Every structure is written in C-alpha cells, then in structure tokens.
Amino acid sequence: MNELTMNLEPHSAVPLYEQIYRYIKSDIQKGRISAGEKLPSTRSLAKYLEVSRSTVELAYEQLESEGYIESLPYKGTFALDVQELYRLKPRKIASQTKPAKKQEILYDFSPHGVDLKRFPYQVWRKLSKDVLSEDKSELFRMGDPQGEWGLRRAVVSYLYHARGVNCTPDQIVIGAGNDYMLFLLHVILGQQHKIAFENPTYRQAYRLFERLGYPVCTVDMDQYGMEARILRETDADIAYVMPSHQYPLGIVMPIRRRMELLSWADEAEGRYLIEDDYDSEFRYKGKPIPALKGYDASEKVIYLGTFSKSIAPAIRMSYMVLPERLLRVYQENCRFINPTVSRVDQMILQKFIEEGYYERHLNRMRALYKGRHDTFLNCLKPFAKKCRISGEHAGVHLLLTFTDGRTAEELIRLAREQKVAVYALSSYDTQGSHRHEASVLLGYANMEEDQIKEAVEILKQAWL
C-alpha cells in the first residue's frame, strides 16, 4: 500500500480519479510498479486514500482500457508489461554527475482510450437520484442472476433497431464486463472445444481461453477478415470473430464473408461463432452493417456486447445473447451463479436507454469522433508516400504500416523521444506472423482535434 501513497489535490481542476490514474500510469511507465505486481483492491485503496470507491474504480477502469493493468476474476488487479514502450535504453550522457531525466509523454495515441470528459455526468446523476428516490428495499436485494428484466428488454430493443439482431429478453445475460461473460461462457460450453481466433487479435480473450485450458489456434486474415476456407483446415469448432470492426486491424467484414462463416458453423453440430461486436457504434463510411447475429437463422452465433466503450469503462456492464440451445444449458447449469452487477446500476442504465439518453449520447460521440477521425486523416496525408493507412472506416484508431525498411520498434522509439506514445501491432500478434511488419496503432479517442494536429506535426519531424 505504501507504494501507492500519493498526494491528491481535492480542489484541483483535475478530477480525483484522473489524479489516481496519472499516478499509477506514471509508476508503471517508470518501472516503480513492476509487471505482474498486484495492486491494492479498489476498496482498500479507496479507504487508504479516503476517497469514494467509485473514484478508484474509474481510475482502474481507464488504466485497464489503455492496457496498463488487468483485472483477473477472483485473483485481483495486476500491472501489465509495457517495457518495450517505456523502459528504453537511456542515452549516453557526457557527464555522470547528474542522472538523465526520463521523458514524460505529451501525447498518447492509446488505441484503448475513451473520452470520459464527455461522459453525461448530469444525466447520470439525475437518473441515479430518480432510481434511488423510489425508496424500494427490493433495489438492494440480490437480483436476477441473468440480469434485470427491464434492462434486458431495453437491450433487446437497442439491438433490434441499431444492430439488426432479433432476440428476446430471455436470451440476454447481463454481467460485469466481457471477462466475466467469457468465464460464464466457459461454464456453458464446457471444455470439449477448440477455439480459433483471428490473427492478430484481441489478446485478452485469447489469453483468457488459453488459461482456461482450451486448445486455441489462430487464422491469419486477408483484407476481408477471417477466411472460412482456412478455418476449415483447422479442427476448431468455435471461432472468435469481430466482424463489425476487427481489433486491431480495423477490418469491416463484408456480407459475403459473414455468410461463409455462418455456413462453416452450420456444417457440423456443436460449432459456434462468438461475435465480439467491438466498436460497432462508431462507423464513418457507408451504412452500418447489421451484426453477424442478425443473419443467424440457425442459432449458431453467440453475441457479445458492452457499454464500456460507448459510455465509460467504469459502467462495467456487458451482455451476451445466447442461442436457444445454449440458453437451455445456462438455465439448467448456471442459474445458481449470483449476479455481478447491482440492481441499482442496471436500473440506471435501463432508464438511460429507455428515455433516449443513450441514443443521444452515441450521436454526440459519433459526431465528436468523426471530427477527430477526419482531422487525423487530413493531417496524415504527408505520410502517404511512406506508409499505408488502414482501419479508417470504423472505430477510434488507425493503423499505419511503413514500407521504408524501418521497424515498428524504431518508429516507437523515434516517437517516444519526442514524447509521443504509439503502439506496435506485433503486441497483438499471437503467432509472430506480423512481427516483420512496421505497423503501429494510433488511437484518437482521448485527444482533442488541436492535440491531434500538434502530435502529428511532431511525428512528421520524427518519421518523415
């Protein structure tokens, strides 16, 4: 606990959660908190710092969304290894009398960022007050393990109108984050499966299934995503895909390829597609493509969605749409598992959706991110001769692949020397297939348009 002693300034313009976030992030970058080191629980740190637990939770969630820490159910919260980005070899100095100062990051192109400054605090506060003013003791009793009916009904309506998914509230399961949903899915599916992932992929899901003891494999992608032809060459019977916006490559899977994957799943009993509908809310070119689950006539798609990216990481609410066969397994074998999200929080989110606030918030964020997206692409035009820009049709990050012979590590180092943080594609590659490519990820959700312009000017000096 002493290692996280920090001087918080309650009257500062910087919110308390951001002060805690900055402190821990800095300590991880500088190696004061080593990779794998366990952090205090949110409850104990809140008590130690004399702040609310929600303040610490918000800081932890932002750190987790940016890849600095990970929370493992029933084990705790641990610092992740960011050595290749931040623990660079020190420069040689002429004099040994003074140690070299470590540079701070001025601009961070984190691909995991969420703009928390636009979180609708006043609306959330109003809805919280409305829910609590009902003064019902039932609110604080243990709720339905599957999630509150009203919230599940609201999610069903949202999925139908926004994602083209036709399901019932009975098929929805609410839980605290995607990690919990995947743990629950592990109980539902059982152990007798092999899971194929896109490569590169969302490492958290890959690592979780691997540590749960599943045989895992990867399928390299073409420009349209995972190929069913190559998937058939594996003996996997479950494929984990992100068709609406593949992370990290940013591919939007076309309809034909989606139909091919559905055909693969329909070829054998017990085959399923896990659709992680990552970043589906933010699309900048063409009409939104319905979710893969929207075409699922044979009940072969397990759909995963979350509010962490579209609202805030601390909302910590995800949902899963189960096919009818797996729903029966859940009801028989998993109904004893206690709910992981409070009824109060679920009712606040339900009102947020039903009263139209969620749709308005998404529209504001789409417009905000679209402005940053367009500004970013315009600023990157001078880079066109030296790199290929991709992933620009959806999401909140871009991928730059350089063809001038430099490595990703060199590009990261050059940017870091100018106090700009960018991230290597290779860190998402489970098989080393992309380690030879000089590809870097640049996220813009956390950056204002003026900051994007300033940061790109610095990268011009570093890279061009």
Tell me, what's the pLDDT at 436?
57
Neighbours of 198 (CB within 10 A): 28
The tokens of 369 are what? 């991110």
Tell me, what's the pLDDT at 7?
79
Tell me, what's the pLDDT at 272?
98
What DSSP line would sit under 9-68, residue for residue?
Answer: -TTSSS-HHHHHHHHHHHHHHTTSS-TTPEEPPHHHHHHHHTS-HHHHHHHHHHHHHTTS
Q: Which amino acid is at 122?
A: Q
CATH class of the 2-92 domain in this structure: mainly alpha
Q: Whole-angstrom Cα distance, residue 66 to residue 197?
A: 22
* Domain 121-357: CATH architecture, name and number where available: 3-Layer(aba) Sandwich (3.40)
Tell me, what's the pLDDT at 28?
86
Q: CATH topology for 359-463?
A: Aspartate Aminotransferase, domain 1 (3.90.1150)
Do residues 316 and 287 lie in contact, with contact meaning Cβ atoms separated by under 8 Å?
A: no
Identify the residue whose tokens are 């300033």.
454
The tokens of 140 are what? 């604080």
Q: Where are the beta strands (DSSP E) in 126-265?
A: 172-175, 195-199, 216-222, 225-226, 238-241
Residue ranges per structural domain of the chain: 2-92, 121-357, 359-463
How far is C-alpha 52 from the chain's CA centre? 25
What is the sign of the dihedral through the CA atoms of 42, 47, 49 and 54? positive
Name the region of 105 (left: φ>0; alpha: ψ -120 to 50; beta: rest): beta
The SS3 of residue 122 is helix
The pLDDT profile of the chain, 464 residues, written as one tens digit per residue, is 445 778 788 777 788 888 888 888 888 888 888 888 898 988 888 888 888 888 888 888 888 877 888 888 878 898 887 755 544 444 443 444 454 455 588 999 998 888 888 889 999 999 999 999 876 777 888 889 999 999 999 999 999 999 999 999 999 999 998 999 999 999 999 999 999 999 999 889 999 999 999 999 999 899 999 999 999 999 999 999 999 989 899 888 999 999 999 999 999 999 999 999 977 778 776 666 789 999 999 999 999 999 988 888 888 899 999 999 999 999 999 989 999 999 999 999 999 999 999 999 999 999 999 999 999 999 999 998 889 999 888 889 999 999 888 999 999 999 999 999 999 998 888 776 655 579 999 999 989 999 999 999 999 999 98
Do residues 253 and 225 lie in contact, with contact meaning Cβ atoms separated by under 8 Å?
A: yes
Tell me, what's the pLDDT at 205?
93
The 216-222 sheet, strands edge to edge: 172-175, 318-321, 301-306, 272-276, 238-241, 195-199, 216-222, 225-226
Q: Please list, in sequence order, all residues whose beta carbon lies within 8 angstroms of the beta carbon of residue 373, skipping any fewer than 6 positions away.
A: 284, 392, 396, 444
Q: Whole-angstrom Cα distance, residue 308 to residue 24?
A: 21
Q: Examine domains 121-357 and 359-463 and report if their fold is the same.
A: no
Q: Whole-angstrom Cα distance, residue 181 to residue 96?
A: 53
Neighbours of 223 (CB within 10 A): 9
Furthest-apart CA atoms within the chain: distance in Å: 72
The residues with which 275 forms a beta bridge, in sequence order, are 241, 303
Tell me, what's the pLDDT at 62?
85
Q: Whole-angstrom Cα distance, residue 57 to residue 46?
A: 9
Q: Whole-angstrom Cα distance, residue 422 to residue 404?
A: 18
Do residues 319 and 301 lie in contact, with contact meaning Cβ atoms separated by under 8 Å?
A: no
The tokens of 439 are what? 């590809």
Tell me, what's the pLDDT at 156?
97
